[in-house]
Homo-oligomer: A and B are copies of this chain.
Amino acid sequence: MISPSEMRKRITETPPLVHNMTNVVVTNFTANGLYALGAKPVMANAIEEVAEMAGHADALSLNIGTLTSEQIEAMLTAGKAANKAGTPVIFDPVGVGATSFRDQTAKRLLAELDVDVIRGNEGEIARLAGIAVTVRGVDSEEPVENAEEAAIQTARTFSALTVMTGETDIVTDGETIVYINNGHALQSSVTGTGCLLSSVIGAFAARGEQLFDAACAAVSYYGCAAEKAAADKTIGPGTFQVRFLDELALISDDDLSRLCDISERKQVQQS
């Protein structure tokens, strides 16, 4: 499996362009996170230009955190252009389950587009898997039982690599599974840490990298940067956000080797 350090090196050498169609809360943090990593962000939402922009990009990140009917049409247009160009499409189903509009939109995007990666929290992934979870805002009310099975189910149903983030992060294609134990509790006090990760997976998956490995490396890299940031000059959630951007840029290969905690890839139990 390719290491986080090696992936970062490739990104810095030939920065991938990530086209983000994301929510209005996290645009700035997403752009700054991608720049910090050495990638290049672009944002474009107008239906007049998204196909052209997505066609030139190396990855397309779709996020329904503050969706509108215009944005959905534009996402479909951009997604189809990305599919045609063979560009990886990452889907972040923010708050799916909170409203029927989000449920329907997620279904429609997943039905009409070839989504390569789905990245969500436990409540969101469980909802996509068809499990009855109560979502208020962007989180499930209760811890999700059998979250791992939900991730596997989601991966199978939508033929998409599924990244479910939580205390332990899971990456699964429905047949094999990897557990990643990186990250820090302060991430849940900063808005957009999940959203930015989805775009970072896009940056790692760009340029024809093997998708499963790229996603694991991205998730671990991201979590290591969070651990490093939390350990040094961070006081609370404000300074953490800032220091995290620093470490996305600066974390050393030595720190990555030392902190990186990715499990073996193993077969999932047939259910």
Judge if A98 is at the interface, Cβ distance under 8 Å: yes
| Also in contact, A99 and B189, with CB within 8 A (given A27-B24, A246-B235) | no
**How many whole Å from A80's CB to the nearest CB in chain B?**
16
With A and B bound together, what is the CA distance between A242 and B99 in angstroms? 32
Contact of A242 among B28, B36, B49, B242 (CB under 8 A): B242
- State the CA gap A26–B24 with chains docked (Å): 10
User: A247's closest neighbor in chain B, by CB?
Assistant: B236
Cross-chain contact A32 with B235 (CB below 8 angstroms): no
How many copies of the chain does the oligomer comprise?
3
**Is A237 engaged at the interface, CB distance under 8 Å to the other chain?**
yes
Establish whether residues B46 and A69, one from each chain, have CB atoms under 8 Å apart when the complex forms.
Answer: yes
A98 and B65 form a contact (CB under 8 A): no
Q: What are 24 pairs between A and B in contact, CB < 8 Å? A: A24-B27, A25-B28, A25-B43, A32-B189, A32-B237, A40-B137, A42-B98, A43-B66, A44-B98, A45-B66, A45-B68, A46-B66, A46-B68, A49-B101, A53-B99, A68-B70, A235-B250, A237-B249, A238-B241, A238-B244, A239-B242, A239-B243, A241-B245, A242-B242
Question: A interface vs B, CB < 8 Å?
Answer: 17, 19, 23-29, 31-32, 35-36, 40-46, 48-49, 52-53, 56-57, 65-70, 95, 98-102, 136-139, 188-192, 233, 235-239, 241-247, 249-250
